[in-house]
Amino acid sequence: MKPALRSAVLGLAAAAIVGAGSPVAGAGRPAPTRMPMRIMSLNLCTDLLLLQIAPKSRIASVTFMARDGARALFPGLEIAITVNHDLAEDIVKARPDLILDSTLGAPMTRAMARRAGARVVEVKNANSFDDIRQIVRQVGDEVGEPARAAALIQRMDATLATLAAHPPPRRLRVVAWSGGTAVPGKGSLTDAIITAAGAVNVAAQPGIAESSFGVEELLVARPDALLFGGATLGQPSLLDDEGQHRVVRRLYAGRRIAYNDIAHTCGLPQSADSARDLRRALDALPKRSPAP
Amino acid sequence: MSRLVAAHLTVRRSGRAIVDDVSFALEGGGFVALVGANGAGKSTLLAALAGLIAADEGQVTLDGASLAAIDRRALARRRAYLPQNPRAEWPIAVERLVALGLTPHLPAFGGLPGGLEPRLTEAIEACDLVAQRLQPATTLSGGELARAMLARALIGDPQVLIADEPTAGLDPRHSLDTVGRLQALAAQGKLVVAAMHDLTLAARYSTHLMAMLDGRLAAFGPTAEILTPGLLRRVFGVEARITGDAGEALVDYLRPSG
Amino acid sequence: MKSAPNLPGYVLTSAALVALLLAAAGSLFLGRVNLSAADLLHGVLSPNANLAGLVVTELRLPRAVLAILVGASLGLSGAVLQGLLRNPLAEPGLLGVSNGAALGAVISIYFGLAHAFGLATPLLGMVGAMAAGALTFAFGRSSTLTLILSGAAVSSLMSAFLALALNFAPSPYAAYEMSVWMLGSLSERSWDHVFLAAPFIGLGLAILATMGRAIDALALGDVQAQSLGIHLDRTRVLALLGVGLCVGAATSVTGSVSFIGLVAPHLVRPFVGHQPSRTLLPSALLGATLLLLADIGTRVIHTNTELRLGVLTALLGAPFFFWLVVRLRKVAP
């Protein structure tokens, strides 16, 4: 086949595949007809997805938080990419042709983006592993790397399958709690991760109020272990300080399990690794249940 | 009997001498009227005599001891001070207001000790405030408030009373009432020093007169002797006529001096 | 003007004490988790560790004690300041001390000092309070008016720095936590907080309790009070010191709680003949009671997210201001 004809056929085939497989959550625009060369991400979660799926050469800019986030997930990773602060000026400077943002992205930014001629794709927040599969596929299709996305999903599913195949002897009761502010309950990603790890999320049980789950409620619920997200991105915040009520310290010494906040806030393939880490930690817990 | 002596007393504000090298000696039993034009330095002099502001030069002594050296509470027990137009800041009952005069006699805590209750009643009766005893001080008329403040000043039985314009804003009847009480105090042997704007009242009731002009002492002596039209011309810049003597004296202002 | 009955001291104090004890009991028996009174009593008395006993001794009791300490601090500080400034609208925040405490505590959290050692936040809160108070005093010591203006200026300065800390928060979570901390809360407080704050609050209360005589004399104005032997300078210093210590320590452990210091003395005043010294003890008791009740409110009112203490006191305190205005309109021409 002549080279020009071959390119045309490949291009049409690509368009067909991309057109068929991408659920665009954004403005209902038609699927891209060519691969985006300058992709910009305005949100930490989309940053991390983008960095795993697209080659660096085609990434124009990620947010300033991506570096710390990426290091937390992939220790040793260095990204040398221009950073943005999710501002209109950044969009102008980066001259992107594709912008990934969360569904909560600032309207001004989106308006700016349209004027700059870039497509805006909104990636929703993941609350389950199904959601994660969906958004990974979505980003893969949008940036033109469906194979890479599929590979990531496959690895994630393998991890989950391993966990499901070897259930723990006893389903331990846990709650993600760091001091009385909102506690992830039913329908949250943390809940999905806990379930995948073979444990029971106390906050998802009927009769428990999700938010404002204080020490009193904790003492009554008597979970076997406490999960805490610790400091996000390594910066201090009150969450650490308030979680240290004397009673909690005493009763749950050695029974507090740290998890990587990012894998719970952002739906990523690594969220399955978080479930695996949680299982390991739960297996390592001392047998005795905390009194009283 | 107390002795209040000013020796080369000077008080400066922003470089200017408001009270300029003033010296005199006052004794108990005298009712001293301090007169002078507005801005002559009367209020400042009275505050310095009361020990409320420090002298920049010279000193004031009470019974031989410099005011600066006397402990504040001890000083408060011996001399009472009434500023111009005294006001009550809270609507407390008259009896509570009068009782405040006993502050320098009271310990840090506690209400009025039982032993001092009779003194309170006495002070209230002495100033004709029995009917207003429980009334909030902020609802008193001008004359009643003046009496209440005076009762507050006198309840501690001070040796010296220093008052700045005690008849300001009072109607004739209450003005007479007030200066009558001041005169009676002096008759009991106390020292009363009062800045006064009403020269007729000063002429009739005071035993001594102190005149200030631009911060300096223009004249000081027994009222009958030194209150003359010449003094009034010098101190106030007015032509005046003084008729009658002692309790019937009358000071008439005729016209500004040339 | 119809005045409230002027009650003898012991009647008012006893009534206030009874109200306080009832509120304290309520605080022990009520909470987010329903435990019957019998269970609770049984739990406390039982020698073995048990849930009910733990809830009472480690959660509700320190919380109640802290509420009493903080409420008394706010009430007494408000009473002293209103007496000192002769202004019924004065409240502990006027001298910039509460904002200074908040700034100190927020700085401790912002720079991660709270992790270095547990005492950091309350201590820095107190340092902030004292610094703010000293600044207010340095600029405003000459008269009552300058003291008020200086306090307003210092308060704004501290607010500006608080906003700066929020603006440049190290992470979005930190910003959220700082804002939420400033709304004020007594939840999840333990004996640790009580032991940290109590000495400073105790000292502050002791200092303020000695000021009765001075603020009474000030009812006659600065000059007459001075003539009665009151040291105006010393009085202002003591007031600032006392307010700084107890409000500073209180704000450091609970965040900003408003209106208690304004409302308590106001409610007490008509019953003591408006005499400043007689408002002190009842204001402390009433302040403690009001804060206990507000705290019970945050636990008993069912909300999805925790209703913060400072929010509740603000929601109840603001209408109080309107009531004041309405009353004033009726009285004034």
Task: Look at C320 and C209; give whichever has higher pLDDT.
Answer: C209
Domain count, chain B: 1
CB contact under 8 A, C173 and A232: yes
Residue A290 predicted with pLDDT over 70: no
What is the model's pLDDT at position A20?
44
Residue C327: per-residue pLDDT:
82
Spatial neighbors of A250 by CB under 8 A, at least 6 apart, are none
Chains that touch B (3 or more CB pairs under 8 A): C
pLDDT per residue as tens digits for the range C83-92: 998 988 888 8
Terminal alpha carbon distance of chain B: 44
Euclidean distance between CA atoms B28 and B189, whole angstroms: 5
Residue C49 CB neighbour total at 10 angstroms: 12
Q: Is the pLDDT of residue B191 over 80?
A: yes
pLDDT-based confidence at residue A19 (cuts at 50, 70, 90):
very low
Give a yes or no: residue C62 inside a domain.
yes
Structure ipTM: 0.92
Least confident of A252-256, B130-134, C4-8: C4-8
Query: Could you give the angle at the alpha carbon of C114 between the alpha carbons of C111 and C116, nearest 5°?
Result: 95
**pLDDT tens sequence across A205-231:** 776 655 567 788 888 888 899 887 764
Q: Would an 8 Å CB–CB cutoff place C6 in contact with chain B? A: yes
Q: Return the number of CB contacts < 8 Å for B and C.
A: 80
At C119 the pLDDT is 65
* Cβ–Cβ gap C217/B100 under 8 Å: yes
Give the pLDDT confidence of C215-235 residue by residue, as tens digits.
Answer: 999 999 999 999 999 999 899
Asked if C221 has any chain B CB less than 8 Å from its own CB, the reply is yes
Residues of A in contact with C304 (CB under 8 A): 209-212
A241: in domain: yes
Binned at pLDDT 50, 70 and 90, residue B193 comes out as very high
**Residue A181 shares a structural domain with residue A121:** no
Phi then psi for residue B241, to 5 deg, are -125, 130
For residues C205-229, one letter each, b for 16 or more C-beta atoms within 10 angstroms of the residue's C-beta and e for the rest, the string is bebbbebbbbbbbbbbbbbbbbbbb
Residue in B47, B88, B111 nearest the CB of C219:
B88
Instruction: Write out pLDDT tens, residues C154-182.
Output: 999 999 999 998 888 877 777 777 788 78
Domain boundary (A109, A130, A157) is at A157
Domain boundary among A96, A126, A157: A157
> Is pLDDT larger for residue B8 or for residue A84?
B8
Is C148 an 8 Å CB contact of chain B? no
Residue B97: list chain C partners with CB under 8 A.
Answer: 219-220
Number of domains in chain C: 1
> Is C274 in contact with B101 (Cβ distance < 8 A)?
no
Which of the two residues, A254 and B121, has the higher pLDDT score?
A: B121
Is residue A150 situated within a structural domain?
A: yes
- CA C315 to chain B, closest CA, distance in angstroms equals 29
Q: Whole-angstrom Cα distance, residue B192 to residue B182? A: 7
- Mean pLDDT for all residues in chain C: 87
Of C200, C199, C230, give the one whose Cα is nearest residue C212. C230
Strands (E), chain B: 3-13, 16-27, 31-36, 57-62, 65-66, 79-82, 160-164, 191-195, 208-213, 216-222, 238-243, 250-256
A181/C contact by beta carbon, under 8 A: yes
Is the pLDDT reported for residue C321 higher than 70? yes
Interface of C with A (CB under 8 A): 31-33, 48-51, 54-55, 58-59, 109-112, 114-115, 118, 121, 170-171, 173-174, 176-178, 180-181, 187-188, 190-192, 303-306
- Within a domain: residue A141? yes
Residues of C in contact with A240 (CB under 8 A): 114-115
Among A182, A220, A247, the residue with its CB nearest the CB of C190 is A247
Is A178 in the same domain as A275? Answer: yes
Work out the minimum CA distance from B92 to partner chain C, whole angstroms: 5
Summarised one tens digit per residue, pLDDT across range A158-167 is: 999 999 999 9
User: Is the backbone of residue B8 left (phi > 0), alpha (psi -120 to 50) or beta?
Assistant: left
Neighbouring C-beta atoms of residue B111, cutoff 10 Å? 14
CATH code of the domain containing B128: 3.40.50.300
Q: In what order do the strands lie in the sheet with A83-84?
A: A83-84, A59-63, A39-41, A98-102, A119-123
A5 domain-assigned:
no
> Does the residue A277 lie in any domain?
yes
Q: Does the pLDDT value for residue A31 go beyond 70?
A: no
Same domain, A34 and A131: yes
Give the mutation candidate from C35, C50, C54 for the A interface (greatest A CB count, under 10 A).
Answer: C54
Note whether residue A43 is domain-resident.
yes
pLDDT of residue A241: 45
Averaged pLDDT for residues C60-66: 95
The answer to whether residue A231 is domain-embedded is yes
pLDDT higher than 90, residue B181: yes
Name the residue range of residue A269's domain: 167-283
CA distance C192 to chain A (A): 7
Q: Mean pLDDT of all residues in chain B?
A: 93
Flag if A219 and C112 touch (Cβ within 8 Å). no
Residue A11 lies in a domain: no
- Write out pLDDT tens, residues B65-118: 999 999 999 999 999 999 999 999 999 999 999 999 999 999 888 778 888 899
Sign of the torsion formed by the C-alpha atoms of C192, C287, C78 and B153: negative
- Give pLDDT, residue B96: 94
Question: Is residue B187 scored above 80 in pLDDT?
Answer: yes
Give the structural domain span for C25: 9-331
Number of domains present in the structure of chain A: 2
Count of residues making up chain C: 333
| Whether residues A150 and A187 fall in one domain | no
Confidence of residue A8 (pLDDT cuts 50, 70, 90): low
pLDDT at C58: 87
Q: CATH number of the domain that C120 lies in? A: 1.10.3470.10
Q: Which of A211, A241, A242 sits opposite C304 (nearest CB)?
A: A211
The answer, yes or no, to whether residue B133 has pLDDT greater than 50, is: yes
